[in-house]
Chains A and B, each alone.
Chain A
Amino acid sequence: MHPARAWRGRSQRYRLEGEICEGCGARLFPPRDICPECQRPARTPYPLSGRGEVYSYTVVYEPPAGYEEQAPYIVALIRLEEGPLVSAMLTDVGPEEVYIGMPVEMVTRVLHRQGEHGVIAYGYKFRPVLRRTVMLPSPSAPVTA
């Protein structure tokens, strides 16, 4: 990928920045400038939360050129909580653990590399939502003596 092309997509790839239609309020990702719902201009940037759930998924055993190192890998359609579907790889999860409806969240990872001297393209992938860590009081510190 040419560096300018990777740079041009930085807001979408790194921040999952979509657009909101000022006409009907539809939230769009990827950005498409004309709202598919009401055909009016939709050029106001709108960052998406990155939270959603798995709509469908598959495991790629025969990768295209440039993705051989990662295969087999999981790609999915994610239904974002704001509405849009997005195509992305799943990460930090095995194929046997994924299910339709699984809650996932966006993370930033390497999408692909082009040899030793090429651009390393970063972008969004999705992982299962991490459980919130609950801080418990230490049992070795009794309140009373």
Chain B
Amino acid sequence: MKRHTLLFLLLVAAFASCKKFEDFQINPNNPTIADPSLLLPAIERTAFSTISADAALASRYLVYTQSVSNSQYYGWQRSGMGYGNISQVVKMEQEAARTGKKNYRYIGKFLTSYFIVGMTQTFGDIPYSKMMQSIRFNNVTDTAAIRPAYDRQQDVYRGVLDELKIASDSLSAAELAVTGDLVYAGDIEKWKKLVNSFTLRVLMSLSKKEGEASLNIQQRFSDIVSNPTKYPLLASNADNGRLPYYDITGNQYPYFNNNSMKTDYYLDSTFVDILQELQDPRLFVFGKPTPSSNLPANDFDAYDGLRGSASLAQNTAKRGAGNASQINDRYSYQATNEPSVLMSYAELQFILAEAVVRGWITGDADTYYENGIRASLEFSNFNNTYETADINDYLARPVVALQPGNEIRQIITQKYISMFMNTGWQPFYEQRRTGFPAFDVTGSGILNGGVVPKRWMYPNDEFLNNRVNVESAVKSQYPGGDDINGVMWILQ
């Protein structure tokens, strides 16, 4: 019997050594609560990572030679939405409320506004006033929450402008410090500058809606510019809203060691023409001389581009003959290259110059314009390729100086040059708004009937998950259906 007792004990031991079921209800690998400073970095990375080769193809800076690119030939269809980014912001705001760290909330308002503007520029009407209810209220059952209604684009913009004002008015250095900030290291004054400058960008993007009383664009614009104490603006390149890169795996320049960037991206000939016409030394830091050229790298004639609208075969043939300039090596061989910019001081200066020309504010357009050009040249001066004297020479060129009647074209063209491989799709949207510079669509490779698209189709997941609302948004905006050539409200 003793043996059997032993057996019984063994049995008891085997069952008794177990943990209780309640003990397994905590995931030991991932946290469930967090300080907002742990959520901010990933959101900033998304918002401030603006470097996009596709945007450069669509904006006629670059030409792609590996295959027919839909960005370059305007054959695109749908784009994706970015509400997942706003979800991160909402969660950060919730953690900010929990911990009493208010500044995160207002930085969050800016970031949400930035993501929303990006989406409405892409599609037109989007969900705004009814968005984020599932994550905000843990409501995953009500139709109104899981299938949010769309807002008209003008209402989206009004909401964004109001939110940006709240953010600027409420950010305060007296509140608890912001940490985990990859952009401004917790400098609240700089955040205010970015929020205000970005507000001016949004207002300028509405230039076709100057007369829209509900938005009151000019008034809002001058309210900010006329009160620099309350509404400080970016004051130099040091204030740029940017994300620097580091020589740590995963933190490097996005096209560092990118195989395609090393072999398949060439300057667009229309872009080369602009730079050559202006004798712009930024050509030397944007591109590299053609293989067939024996001229020095600082000779404008050492450069030639491919034509974005030409057929792939024409472009690959010209490349194969050694007659095309690749993008500069720094974009794929330098681990840190240059920071990614959400909004630069230079861009702000060009906005102010344009506002003067449009009569929204008073001031000296030439000064704003030259400040912008100088800041851009300084920002792009990789490895001190050119001297300060070169910058001064450039500014002194008659072809560069603002000419009466041509101001908008010149300002936008300079803004366009300053945004090479930076600031995301902003140059494309500026061109869409102003028509400058003209994007070449005359080559034989062009798609979309030879027209530059005005937008992207809504993502298919909205038709699957929010059909009634997206279909009604399409119907109310675009008589031709959800089409890439539809003209959204801000462009009408």
Partners in one complex: no
A contacts, CB < 8 Å to B: none
* B interface residues, Cβ below 8 angstroms from A: none
